[in-house]
């Protein structure tokens, strides 16, 4: 998840719904991947037995990685290397992040979200996270808003070199978050719940990030 500096717009990332099994989901994922260029895919699995999780990760990897899409997973760091994923995504916890960085870096990506304060974000960056995700949670005790996410993205992008990812809750947020300075814009339910289908949603998202970068 490194940004090509020749691009003046954010790259798109995609997170799956939380899945208990992936077989029925694969055609939908294929449609989304074919519709727009995607930098990374975050696979979110329900709590399932390790063998089932491993099979799911490998099935998604076989579909995503040949297209140049980095596969990130939530969960156990060991699953990353064992199942051929490209990296681990976790919610911020100082000890867990330090352990993941020690175990996986520099061969694998380690990304972190759940950053409720600026102090958390700075500590995560200092600890060696490869990217920071803003917009999956808001300030402690406050509802998440586009303004909050855009402000946090703009603050981080202006001062720090570690790439930031902005979670767009709707397609309408894609342009503002890209314009705020996010290197990557992450979509999830905005794509999977779009009544037009995931392919049309991804095509619109790609158009919006390009327009925001002009």
**172 φ/ψ angles, rounded to the nearest 5 degrees:** -65, -20
Q: Per-residue pLDDT tens, the chain, 214 aa: give them.
A: 544 434 577 999 999 999 999 999 999 999 999 999 999 999 999 999 999 999 999 999 999 999 999 999 998 898 998 999 999 999 999 999 999 999 999 999 999 999 999 999 999 999 999 999 999 987 765 678 999 999 999 999 999 999 999 999 999 999 999 999 999 999 999 999 999 999 999 999 999 999 987 5
Question: Residue 5: its pLDDT value, please?
Answer: 37
Q: How far apart are CA 168 and CA 166, in angstroms?
A: 6
Question: Residue 141: its pLDDT value, please?
Answer: 58
Question: Residue 17: its pLDDT value, please?
Answer: 96
pTM higher than 0.85, yes or no?
yes
Q: How far apart are CA 151 and CA 136, in angstroms?
A: 14
Question: Residue 214: its pLDDT value, please?
Answer: 55
Question: Residue 142: its pLDDT value, please?
Answer: 67
Superfamily of domain 11-213: Aldolase class I (3.20.20.70)
Question: Residue 98: its pLDDT value, please?
Answer: 96
Q: What angle do CA 62, 64, 65 make, to 5 degrees?
A: 75
Per domain, the residue ranges of the chain are 11-213
Question: Residue 2: its pLDDT value, please?
Answer: 47
CB atoms within 10 A of CB 59: 18
Measure the N-to-C terminal CA separation of the chain; round to a whole number of Å.
22
**How do beta strands 38-45 and 11-19 pair?**
parallel
């Amino acid at each position: 998840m490194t940004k090509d500096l020749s691009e003046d717009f954010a790259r798109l990332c995609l997170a799956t719904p939380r899945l208990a099994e992936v077989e029925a989901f694969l055609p939908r994922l294929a449609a989304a991947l074919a519709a727009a260029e995607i930098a990374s895919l975050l696979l979110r699995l329900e709590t399932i037995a390790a063998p089932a999780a491993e099979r799911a990760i490998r099935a998604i990897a076989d579909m995503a990685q040949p297209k140049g899409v980095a596969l990130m997973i939530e969960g156990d760091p060991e699953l990353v290397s064992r199942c051929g994923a490209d990296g681990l995504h976790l919610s911020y916890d100082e000890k867990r992040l330090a352990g993941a960085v020690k175990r996986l870096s520099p061969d694998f990506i380690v990304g972190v979200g759940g950053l409720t304060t600026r102090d958390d974000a700075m500590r995560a960056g200092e600890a060696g996270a490869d990217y920071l995700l803003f917009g999956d949670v808001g300030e402690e005790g406050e509802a998440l808003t586009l303004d909050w996410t855009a402000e946090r993205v703009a603050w981080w992008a202006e001062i720090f070199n570690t790439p930031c990812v902005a979670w767009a809750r709707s397609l309408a947020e894609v342009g503002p978050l890209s314009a705020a300075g996010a290197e990557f814009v992450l979509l999830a339910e905005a794509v999977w719940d779009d009544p037009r289908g995931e392919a049309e949603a991804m095509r619109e998202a790609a158009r919006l990030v390009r327009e925001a970068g002009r």
